[in-house]
Amino acid sequence: MFKPGITAKLFLAILTSSVLVAMAMGMASRLTFNRGFLGYLNDQGIERMEALLPALGSTWQAQGGWHCFRDNPRQWFRLLRPGGLSRNQAATDGDCGSDDGDRDRAPSSASPPTPRPPGPPPPQSDLTGVNLRLALLDEQRQFIAGNSQVGADALFRPVQVDGRTIGWVALVPFQNVSTAAAHRFAQQQLWASWVIGALAILLAALVAVLLARVFLAPLKRIARGTHALAAGHYDERVEAGSGDELGQLAEDFNRLAHALKQNEKMRRAFMADVSHELRTPLSVLRGELEALEDGVRALTPESIRSLQAETAILGKLVNDLYELSLADVGALSYRMSDSDVIEVLRDAVHPYRERLAQHDIALELHLPDEPVMVLADEGRLGQLLGNLLENSLRYTDSGGRLRLEARIDGKELLLQFDDSAPGVAADALPKLFDRFYRVETSRNRATGGAGLGLAISAKIAEAHGGSLTAAASPLGGLRLSLRLRLPLAVPGI
The pLDDT tens digits for 143-185 are: 888 888 888 778 898 988 888 888 998 888 766 555 555 567 6
Residue pLDDT, tens place only, 114-132: 444 444 444 444 555 677 7
In the chain, list all ranges with CATH 3.30.565.10: 337-485
CB neighbours (10 Å) of residue 16? 12
Closest CA to 481 of 436, 434, 418, 439: 418
Residue pLDDT, tens place only, 445-487: 444 556 677 888 888 898 889 999 999 999 999 999 999 998 7
Which residue type, as a one-letter code, is found at position 247? G
What's residue 404's pLDDT?
A: 95
Helix (H, G, I), strand (E, B) or coil at 327: helix
Residue pLDDT, tens place only, 266-295: 777 767 767 766 776 787 788 888 888 888
pLDDT over 80 (residue 100)? no
Which residue type, as a one-letter code, is found at position 65? G
Q: Which of 55-64, 308-317, 447-456, 482-491 bottoms out in mean pLDDT, i.e. has the lowest? A: 447-456
Which tops the pLDDT comparison, 114 or 335? 335
pLDDT over 60 (residue 408)? yes
pLDDT tier at 342, thresholds 50, 70, 90: very high
| Helix (H) or strand (E) segment spanning residue 136 | strand 134-138
Provide φ and ψ at 53, rounded to 5°: -60, -45
Strands 412-420 and 373-376: unpaired
Q: What is the layout of strands, in order, in the sheet containing 362-366? A: 362-366, 401-409, 412-420, 476-485, 467-472
**Separation of alpha carbons 172 and 133, rounded Å:** 5
CATH T-level fold of 245-328: Helix Hairpins (1.10.287)
What's residue 104's pLDDT?
A: 40
Kindly tell me the burial class for residue 235, based on how many C-beta atoms sit within 10 Å of its own C-beta (0-12, 13-18, 19 or more).
Answer: exposed
What's residue 438's pLDDT?
A: 63
Q: Are 167 and 137 in contact (CB under 8 A)?
A: yes
In the chain, list all ranges with CATH 1.10.287.130: 245-328
| CATH of region 337-485 | 3.30.565.10
- Tell me the helix, strand and coil percentages in the chain, rounded to 5: 55, 15, 35
What's residue 449's pLDDT?
A: 57
Percent of the chain with pLDDT over 70: 75
Over the chain, what is the mean pLDDT?
77
Q: Buried b vs exposed e over 51-63: b needs ≥16 C-beta within 10 Å?
A: ebbbbbbbbbbbb
Q: What is the DSSP code (8-state) at residue 424?
A: -
Residues 6+ apart with CB under 8 A from 305: none
Helix (H, G, I), strand (E, B) or coil at 345: helix
Global model pTM greater than 0.75: no
Q: Which of 74-78, 105-109, 151-155 bottoms out in mean pLDDT, i.e. has the lowest? A: 105-109
- Angular region, 451: left φ>0, alpha ψ -120 to 50, beta rest: left
